[in-house]
């Protein structure tokens, strides 16, 4: 990444890509909006891509990854899971970023709504079931039925309008194991040269394997970039996942009324690109929408999210906590490129800082949440 793409915005929140000063304006507006209550819309979903070993770190194995969206939603809302004995861990044993997200809920005035867009297992907490079908692997070329994708998008628009009437800002987050591969799918389908740019929850991204899955799927679907740009939801139907259309619908509608944070890394850059393809680049450019992630995604040496943000035109920032000083090895492991992002962890840490919390307060809250959510559960099970 060139130095021109990284502009210091605050000690804790760094501007990664700021087209025409839109990010600076957005962050200013968010500092004002954070004085009043907000809403966190967690959009969970599943794709059979997560069954493939070596693709996702959102669970120790394929069976565990099928449960991760439900468990993360439960842990976010309740502080502990119901569908399993513990919060999800990566194949290397690194804990889910839901620990970070849950910690931030004590620092930011933001209530939670959970939307099941099509997960293998529904969460055992209050939620809205807006989709019934997990996605097939993108190499099938028919990840989801087109009418299912259209229904998800319409449901997202309805939810976006409803949520925006209740609060001063909206955070849209996701939990979709295997979702960076489907993000690559949608971006590629829409004509973006994203092959080496999309990040991974794994320390080392297998770009070639993911690209092969997408190329196979697009070939089987007979979907050209020209057709996908004309009918963007076809990209999701061919090689995407159920979260993408729903989240795009929320962002498009809610941003007419309140600032919308797309909380995530390259998965949310794909959602931004999808929204732009649906509504038009100029329309989305005028809306208060930005993508906020963690430094572990934004400055990942295995990908180039900053270049991707530039390609899709998304204002893009990263929260930059220092977990080297954490008392937990499972958090220090984030600094080695494990897991990196999820459940809008980066966005929520950024918002906590923008609302006036210091880096030490943020890191202490995360350490304390780890005590309760990870060590506390382990002691209870022992």
pLDDT of residue 377: 54
What is the per-residue pLDDT across 149-190, written as a single tens digit (0 to 9) for each? 999 999 999 999 999 999 999 999 999 999 999 999 999 999
- Say if 215 falls within a structural domain: yes
8 A C-beta contact, residue 274 and residue 190: yes
Question: Could you give phi then psi for residue 127, rounded to 5 degrees?
Answer: -160, 170
CA distances to 177, 206, 224, 265, 273 from 141, rounded to whole Å, are 19, 20, 12, 24, 20
Structurally, the chain folds into a number of domains equal to 1
8 A C-beta contact, residue 351 and residue 312: no
CA distance 308 to 313: 8
CA distance 290 to 269: 9
CA distance 152 to 312: 22
Question: Could you give phi then psi for residue 36, rounded to 5 degrees?
Answer: -125, 165
Q: Which two tokens stand for residue 28?
A: 């200013």
Listed as ranges, residues in the chain with pLDDT below 50 are 1-10, 380-382
- Say if 276 falls within a structural domain: yes
CA distance 5 to 23: 13
CA distance 368 to 351: 19
pLDDT of residue 382: 43
- Say if 4 falls within a structural domain: no
Q: Which two tokens stand for residue 342?
A: 């999820």
Helix (H, G, I), strand (E, B) or coil at 43: strand
Structural domain of 75 = 9-381
42 beta partners: 114, 173
CA distance 348 to 196: 27
- Say if 2 falls within a structural domain: no
Other C-beta atoms lying within 10 Å of the C-beta of residue 195: 15
- Say if 3 falls within a structural domain: no
pLDDT of residue 9: 38
What is the per-residue pLDDT across 9-44, written as a single tens digit (0 to 9) for each? 347 999 999 989 999 999 999 999 999 999 999 999
CA-wise closest residue to 180 among 160, 170, 194, 164 = 194
Element (H, E) at 361: helix 359-370
- Say if 278 falls within a structural domain: yes
Percent helix, strand, coil in the chain (nearest 5)? 50, 10, 35
CA distance 122 to 63: 15
CA distance 131 to 241: 11
Sheet strand arrangement including 110-116: 7-8, 13-17, 316-319, 289-294, 260-263, 170-175, 38-44, 110-116, 128-129
Give the DSSP letter of residue 47: B
CA distance 131 to 320: 34
The domain that holds 28 is classified in CATH as 3.40.50.10210
- Say if 1 falls within a structural domain: no
**Counting Cβ atoms within 10 Å, is residue 304 exposed (0-12), middle (13-18) or buried (19+)?**
buried
Helix (H, G, I), strand (E, B) or coil at 284: helix
């Amino acid at each position: 990444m060139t130095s021109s793409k990284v502009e210091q915005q605050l000690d804790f929140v760094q501007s990664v890509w700021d087209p025409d000063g839109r990010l600076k304006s957005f962050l200013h507006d968010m500092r004002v909006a954070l004085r009043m209550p907000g809403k966190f819309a967690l959009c969970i979903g599943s794709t059979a891509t997560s069954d493939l070993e070596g693709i996702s770190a959102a669970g120790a194995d394929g069976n565990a990854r099928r449960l991760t969206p439900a468990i993360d939603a439960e842990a976010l809302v309740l502080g502990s899971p119901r569908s399993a004995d513990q919060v999800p861990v990566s194949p290397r044993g690194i804990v889910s970023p839901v620990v970070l997200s849950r910690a931030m809920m004590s620092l930011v005035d933001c209530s939670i709504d959970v939307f099941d867009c099509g997960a293998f297992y529904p969460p055992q907490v209050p939620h809205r079931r807006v989709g019934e079908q997990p996605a097939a692997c993108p190499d099938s070329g028919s990840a989801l039925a087109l009418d299912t994708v259209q229904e998800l998008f319409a449901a997202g628009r309805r939810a976006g309008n409803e949520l925006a009437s209740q609060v001063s800002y909206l955070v849209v987050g996701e939990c979709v194991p295997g979702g960076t591969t489907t993000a690559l799918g949608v971006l590629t389908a829409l004509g973006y040269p994203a092959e080496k740019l999309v990040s991974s929850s794994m320390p080392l991204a297998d770009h070639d394997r993911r690209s092969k899955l997408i190329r196979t799927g697009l070939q089987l679907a007979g979907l050209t970039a020209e057709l996908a740009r004309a009918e963007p939801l076809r990209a999701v139907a061919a090689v995407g996942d159920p979260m993408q259309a729903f989240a795009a619908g929320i962002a498009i509608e809610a941003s007419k009324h309140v600032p919308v944070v797309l909380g995530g890394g390259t998965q949310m850059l794909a959602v931004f690109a999808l929204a732009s393809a649906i509504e038009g680049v100029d329309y989305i450019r005028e809306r208060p929408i930005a993508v906020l992630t963690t430094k572990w995604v934004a400055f990942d040496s295995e990908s180039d999210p900053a270049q991707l943000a530039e390609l899709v035109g998304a204002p893009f920032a990263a929260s930059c906590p220092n977990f080297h000083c954490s008392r937990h090895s499972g958090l220090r492991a984030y600094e080695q490129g494990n897991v990196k992002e999820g459940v809008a962890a980066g966005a929520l840490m950024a918002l906590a800082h923008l609302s006036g919390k210091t880096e030490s307060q943020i890191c202490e809250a995360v350490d304390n949440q780890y005590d309760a959510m990870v060590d506390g559960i382990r002691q209870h099970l022992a």
